Structure 1
Amino acid sequence: MHRDELILETRKLAKSFRGFTAVNDVDLRVRRGSIHALIGPNGAGKTTCFNLLTKFLVPTAGTILFNGIDITHERPAQIARRGVIRSFQISAVFPHLTVLENVRIGLQRQMGSAFRFWRSERSLDALNARALELLDQVGVADFADTVTVNLSYGRKRALEIATTLAMEPELMLLDEPTQGMGHEDVDRVTQLIKKVSAGRTILMVEHNMSVVSSIADRITVLQRGAILSEGPYAEVSTDPRVMEAYMGTTDAELHGAH
């Protein structure tokens, strides 16, 4: 893969906690414009890997490159300014504000004006128009004036995608976007991820194999903190080592059954 095609690359990325190696020499390569899924059995190191990429954790060893720039020692806020934005931390949404107000806060953060509440009414109107556009994009414009706490689980997730889009991510990190959802919401959110992937790159941790098989261009399988297999779904899902790693669950789960 040509270097220019890579938006994110890790080299020998490692993280140990008191002698336990959670992430072990991971060389991850995410292609620009793709949907890349990180999968693996429980305890494989997926979340730790995500936390290293967003600087919630400091690596024990290794390098993280974003657009060819070494970001290993940058702080979370610096990474966000570069356009690496993580979604699906439920706390990113303020439950007692309306859906529109939540997206507007995302827009104000992007503009660096989160605390300028004295801004003129006219500039707020401009933000409202953009916020409505984003809500429309994720299919919740009809709920603009709804207090967020009253939204269904799936729609809350759609709102989180809208607030993440407000931050203008170049690389969007989605942490188990369909976790805890019913079938209908899973399908809706999967299609939404596919839709918003246009013109940006998505790296996602996801347990639901039917989601991964339907939208991921490339899949990295982690086991015990190391890369076990990598490639398109058809290749990875028939890899004997991957099937063995998932034997703790079921063969059906790996091949997309609910």
Structure 2
Amino acid sequence: MPHEDLILRTHALTKSFKGFSAVTDVNLEVRRGSIHALIGPNGAGKTTCFNLLTKFLTPSAGSIVFNGIDITREKPAQIARRGVIRSFQISAVFPHLTARQNVRVALQRRSGMSWQFWRSARALDALDARALALLGEVGLSDFANTLTLNLPYGRKRALEIATTLAMEPELMLLDEPTQGMGHEDVASVTALIRRVSAGRTVLMVEHNMNVISSIADRVTVLQRGAILAQGTYAEVSQDARVMEAYMGTADQEAVN
């Protein structure tokens, strides 16, 4: 694949903890404009990979290249400014703010106004139109003035995606976006991810194989910290090694 088609590449990415290798020689290639899923059994190294990509962990070896620039040694804030934005597995919104206020906080961070508490309310209100537009993009227009703690779980995850979008991601990392959801919420959040991925690149860790099969353009399977298989969902789901890796887990039926 030509490098200009790739938004993110890792070469021999490795992370060891006191002699234990959590991630080993991972060569990941994420195509620009795609939805790319990172899957694998529990303990496969998926979250460690995410932590390496967003520099919450420092690689023991290997390199990370984003938009043709080596970002291996950059700090988390530098990477975020480049447009690599992560949405966390556990909902990262302020429960006692409204949905609109949560998005506005994210917009303030993006605009550098985070700590300018002395700014007038009028200056902050200028962000409201963008906040409301983002809420509309994730289907939360009717919940703009609802306290976040009163939102149903699926709506909270939609709000989290709105706050992620407020940071203007070029590469959006979603960490198990449908975890803990009922069937209806899973379907709505899956549709939301498909919708907001237009014009963006999404790299997601996800356990639900129905979600992966319906929206992922490409899948990378990790096992014990190393890449086991890569390809389309159809390709990896028929790979004997992948089926063996999932044997005996709850995901086995979904993989077949």
Scaled by the length of structure 2, the TM-score of the pair is 0.97
1:120 deviates by 3.2
- Output the CA distance in 2 between the equivalents of 1:160 and 1:88: 8
For residues 132-167 of structure 1, give each alpha carbon's deviation from its aligned partner in whole angstroms, at most 9, with x where no partner exists.
000010001111111111111100000000000000
1:209 deviates by 0.1
- Correspondence for 1:51: 51
- Correspondence for 2:190: 190
- Percent identical pairs in the alignment equals 76
1:90 deviates by 3.5
1:89 deviates by 4.5
- Output the CA distance in 2 between the equivalents of 1:90 and 1:100: 20
- Correspondence for 1:254: 255
Q: How does 1:1-258 map to 2 (within 5 A)?
A: 1-90=1-90, 92-249=92-249, 251-255=252-256
What SS does the corresponding residue of 2:126 show, helix, strand or coil?
Answer: helix
- Output the CA distance in 1 between the equivalents of 2:141 and 2:119: 24
Kept after mapping to 1: 8 A contact 2:158/2:189: yes
1:118 deviates by 2.5
- Output the CA distance in 2 between the equivalents of 1:91 and 1:18: 30
- Structure 2: state its 5+ residue gaps: none
- Output the CA distance in 1 between the equivalents of 2:141 and 2:88: 19
- Output the CA distance in 1 between the equivalents of 2:196 and 2:64: 25
1:116 deviates by 1.4
1:8 deviates by 0.4
For residues 183-210 of structure 1, give each alpha carbon's deviation from its aligned partner in whole angstroms, at most 9, with x where no partner exists.
0000000000000000000000000000
Pairs aligned (count): 255
- Structure 1: state its 5+ residue gaps: none
RMSD: 1.0
1:121 deviates by 3.4
- Output the CA distance in 2 between the equivalents of 1:57 and 1:253: 32
1:254 deviates by 1.4
For residues 207-250 of structure 1, give each alpha carbon's deviation from its aligned partner in whole angstroms, at most 9, with x where no partner exists.
00000000000000000100000000011100011011111215
- Output the CA distance in 2 between the equivalents of 1:88 and 1:61: 25
- Output the CA distance in 2 between the equivalents of 1:184 and 1:7: 32
- Output the CA distance in 2 between the equivalents of 1:188 and 1:172: 18
- Output the CA distance in 2 between the equivalents of 1:14 and 1:232: 24
